[in-house]
Amino acid sequence: MNEFAINWLKGGEYAEITAPASTALKNKLLRLKEERPDEVTHVIENKDGSMVCHVPVRWIRVSPPRKVSEEQREAARQRFAEIRERMRSGEIEDMVIDDEDICDAVEELEI
């Protein structure tokens, strides 16, 4: 099956999610099942590798991509190119990005 589906009843507590095999969504749901077994329930993996599960309705969101200007994109490209070069040269050995780094990057982009 190659179908993604999200279904829920108005006023219901859970949404049913169907995800195809070998997809980021399926992997994320399986990881969340391990982390939050009381919230990700009724997990069924089908023979074709697809899965169906229930999650709380409050998890369901529609999030359109942020609008970023070409100038912001170019500034981000330059920053990442600089970081890659510094990593290649050995100036930065191991880079770990945490939530604070991400928040700083988003603020720089003024998103």
Return the pLDDT at 28.
93
- Mean pLDDT to the nearest integer, 16-36: 94
Residue 14 in tokens: 């859970």
Flag the least confident range among 25-29, 55-59, 91-95, 102-106. Answer: 102-106
Return the pLDDT at 110.
52
Edge-to-edge strands, sheet with 14-19: 5-7, 14-19, 51-56, 41-45
Return the pLDDT at 45.
92
Q: Containing H/E element for 74?
A: helix 70-89
Return the pLDDT at 89.
86
Return the pLDDT at 111.
46
Return the pLDDT at 3.
87
Q: For 65, phi and psi rounded to 5 degrees? A: -60, 150
Rounded to whole angstroms, the Cα distance separating 54 from 33 reads: 10
